[in-house]
A and B are shown apart, each in its own frame.
Chain A
């Protein structure tokens, strides 16, 4: 059948439909839910690899749902950025699936609260699978209204996941998260109303061709951007993020910090640099860069001030998200600076490093029963792999070579100096220094073993708890060495940025 041919664009629906059906089955059955979820995560990774191969052979592709061409129907499309985000989601998602299995098995093995943890696991799998489907749908979508639907899917499942731990603090934080997320969705929807009123179409390609610099379009873009910024938690709209991410279960924190905020950011970026590029002005770009710079510094300072490990990691997310926005003003300059590559690269590196860090923090929490930073000494003795993973992820967050974070920051620095906007470079360097403070503050405790510290033996379930974090941390480390691969995919997928990275790597 033609559907199964390598060149068929129909493969594109698999990253959405597979997790969707897996989620339904995970809800229906009470046994073997992990097997279903793992199968879906693996199949998702395989399909995304196939799509990448397709992209490298055939270039960007479109798939019309139901065979209806736009403006009538909905279109999915693959191109470089979309595929890199899909790859990021698939790899991180697989690691998180494995980690979650280890996490729940470990907690259920404790007989005191086994019932509660079994219930949490019962609902974790369908929610996570539907979230995965929503994220993949968002990255593939080429239709503003379809993006809204996927944002709903992501928002509701993410808020439910954040509330899963059931503690009062997490209930409060996730309720606030839900309200913020709904407010963001509605603002986005209001933007679509303006867009549809002034243009009459919803397809992104058509909008790109039609988009004039009218008042209606500008209003629509402003509303949609505010909605997405609220979901991305850019300073000063970040207030909901640290409590929601820090109080969730460890695998959920990893999902929220690594993937969910990237979804809305990705869409924002597409709107600003692809669909509505002609509408964007330099002051707007500078404003976003300014907010990003404040986020970098403010998030890092807050991270340094925290007493709990998970809160520190959550504030570090606020800080790291800022870097993505510093790239905005650098794109407006002449000279074709590859803004896609900077941003996507930073997002990839951050997704791997941050999920590894949240997993490590979760494992430490399980092991000690708390995550107070000043009492973390001696963990290295019983959790060597986890502590090592934390260290490597920290290297990427600080931006030391050869990590992916280093390459991203190096690109930012060269871009800002090359366009003689040195103040952004200053922010990047200061942010990295602050990051090294908050990373080392924890690391110095983790690596020290006080005298007379009792050496515990590792527990049986710990392999699944430790290795996924380690693998992700290593990926984030070696992303810098293999930087030409993702950039090659990017260059293949976007015609406008064909000359991405002709200059070679540092």
Chain B
């Protein structure tokens, strides 16, 4: 580390000790990984064997949405939980608009945002046979939302709260609903009926991609959109 800057704090004794400890642990873990043999991949074989019953061709999607769909259901809840937690803490900060949005920026957003939505839709659809799916599509949607947020589009301030809540809950609720309906019809939570797996997974992924995209964009906004804040700008 550099010793030149006066403001730059040097490590004290405890931190040095901690650093040494961390380095020792890393070396130890590296040694253990290097010295223990990996086991034969039990699961890869099982996934390949059951692939044709899953309704999708991509093994990753089959694991995420079918074999271990319960995990994914809970993961989607974790994402929603992040937004609820953020909203409970603070309000979103929208700076007062000082100047016009530059036409170059505006033009870029106008060109990019629709394309990004299209790409997101394609990624969700592609998830059934290649890499892709709800999380990837949702990430692109979230990026589109962030792009619009940094451009400070005036239209964003006027979005009422209820549609945002509905959009956030839509994906997880749809997922849980399908899981319960499957429970009623086949006796297993998320046990898709024979032959219906493919399109049910596509529906779930589409619903979840919308909610995930909204979740990520709202996390970037960094707080709840309070009425008094959204409707009239505080100085």
Contacts and interface: CB of A to CB of B under 8 A. Distances in A.
Contacts of A149: 71, 74-75, 78
Interface string A1-25: 1110000101001000100110110
Contacts of B39: 197-200
A66 B180 contact: no
Given A66-B66, A67-B188, A126 B36 contact: no
A164 interface: yes
B77 A130 contact: yes
User: Top 7 closest A-B pairs, CB basis?
Assistant: A160-B85, A123-B88, A200-B42, A67-B188, A67-B191, A216-B36, A65-B70
B80 to A, nearest CB: 8
Contact of B69 (A13, A65, A199, A202): A65
B111 interface: no
Contacts of B176: 17, 20-21, 24
B224 to A, nearest CB: 9
A8 B186 CA distance: 12
Contacts of A91: none
Interface of B: 29, 32-33, 35-43, 46-47, 50, 66-71, 74-75, 77-78, 80-82, 84-85, 87-89, 165-166, 168-169, 172-173, 176, 179-180, 182-184, 186-192
Contacts, number: 156
B165 A72 contact: no
Given A17-B176, A24-B173, A219 B32 contact: yes
Given A10-B187, A133-B77, A215 B84 contact: no
A127 B69 CA distance: 22
A8 B89 CA distance: 42
Please tell me the size bucket of the interface on A. 35 or more
Contacts of B188: 10, 64-67
Contacts of B67: 66, 68, 72-73
Contacts of B87: 123
A201 interface: yes
A127 B80 CA distance: 10
A166 B91 CA distance: 12
A7 to B, nearest CB: 12
A159 interface: yes
A10 B43 contact: no
A127 B81 contact: yes
